[in-house]
Amino acid sequence: MKLYTYFRSSAAYRVRIALNLKGVSYESLPVNLLKGEQRGDGYRAMNPQGRVPSLDIGDAILTQSPAILEYLDEVYPEPPLLPVGAVNRAKVRAVASLIACDIHPLNNSGTLGYLKNKLGHDQAAADEWYAHWVRQGFEAIETMLGPGPYAFGPRVTLADVYLVPQVFNARRFNVALDAFPRIAAVEAACMAHRAFQDAAPERQPDAA
């Protein structure tokens, strides 16, 4: 299994966490987003959107982290990323979807690049755009989390897999987390877990 990744991509970060949690071995193949490698003909032939992650499973190449995570949970069911019970699963999915659909698209590199390069906003304005949507999303998530230590209890779920990379991004852009103690506590619990530690951006081969 080959994972096309970029060390600071939160979408790729999610997949690395899930692969580690499932105990699935994989080869990490960095795609340098800053150098535009994702826009090369070779990569776009594999992933038409020209984004990371892409997961080569041998007989197919999977794209889009939500689809990849669903695949991993179906093919490698232990440990499960969703809890028992339809209501509990819906709550976990709601947090994951809030991050994937409402926060992340508004502060990924493509969006920020368009704000600066096409619309003429300076770095300070782009940073404020980023921080606004993170804070708004985190305000909702802070109230949606279940009992700890993880996002919804004593077992890691899909919500944690999405939340930790988003917290990493928030810190990277100097978004204060003082108003989100529950989120910070969940992230701390996750980062004590080896699967999260090994998936961290600073531990990836292209981080140097």
Band (28; pLDDT cuts 50, 70, 90): very high
pTM exceeds 0.85, yes or no: yes
For 120, residues 6+ apart whose C-beta sits below 8 A from its C-beta are none
How remote is the C-alpha of 112 from its chain's centroid? Answer: 17
User: 5 by DSSP, 3-state: which?
Assistant: strand
Q: Is residue 71 a contact partner of residue 56, using CB atoms and an 8 Å limit?
A: no
The pLDDT of residue 130: 86
Q: Which strand ranges, in their side-by-side order, compose the sheet holding 2-5?
A: 27-30, 2-5, 54-56, 61-63
Residues of the chain with CATH 3.40.30.10: 2-79
Measured between alpha carbons, how far is 77 from 79 in angstroms, rounded to an integer? 6
The pLDDT of residue 201: 97
Kindly state the tokens that stand for 60: 């197919």
- CA dihedral in degrees (198, 202, 203, 205; nearest 10)? 140
Tell me which amino acid residue 149 is. Answer: P
For 102, residues 6+ apart whose C-beta sits below 8 A from its C-beta are 133, 137
Identify the residue whose tokens are 């060390």: 7
Burial class (CB in 10 A: 0-12, 13-18, 19+), 10: buried
Band (94; pLDDT cuts 50, 70, 90): very high
Q: Is residue 11 a contact partner of residue 68, using CB atoms and an 8 Å limit?
A: no
In the predicted structure, residue 121 carries a pLDDT above the cut 80 = no
Query: For domain 86-195, which architecture applies?
Result: Up-down Bundle (1.20)
Residues of the chain with CATH 1.20.1050.10: 86-195
Band (123; pLDDT cuts 50, 70, 90): confident
Annotation: CATH topology of 2-79: Glutaredoxin (3.40.30)
Q: Is residue 161 a contact partner of residue 15, using CB atoms and an 8 Å limit?
A: no
